[in-house]
Amino acid sequence: MAHLARIDLKPKELEKLSQQLQEILGFIDKLKEVDIKDTAPTSHILPINNVLRDDLPGESLSSDKALENAPERQGNFFGVPKVIE
């Protein structure tokens, strides 16, 4: 892994990383043993609800007001430098 990640590890660091990777893989194997056949894919231990407000139209800026401090203006739009040739 260290070679693929292009990082230089000392032998002690490599040994520690190897041990940690083995522990992670062992934990994944333990998770595979858990019976989840009756568990919904999106279940959660807590009842979670998004708190959303109604999307109501509001007052918005006019084009002139929005563009009054623009460094460059092209008609009713912001002028930006071309980045793709």
Instruction: Tell me how many domains the chain contains.
Output: 1
17 within a domain of the structure (yes/no): yes
12 within a domain of the structure (yes/no): yes
What confidence tens digit (pLDDT) does each residue in 12-51 have?
Answer: 988 998 899 999 999 999 989 988 888 777 767 777 788 8
Facing residues of 74 across strands? 77
11 within a domain of the structure (yes/no): yes
58 within a domain of the structure (yes/no): no
pTM of the entire predicted model? 0.41
**What domain range is 27 assigned to?**
1-35
79 within a domain of the structure (yes/no): no
Measured CA to CA, the distance from residue 62 to residue 76 in angstroms comes to 10
28 within a domain of the structure (yes/no): yes
75 within a domain of the structure (yes/no): no
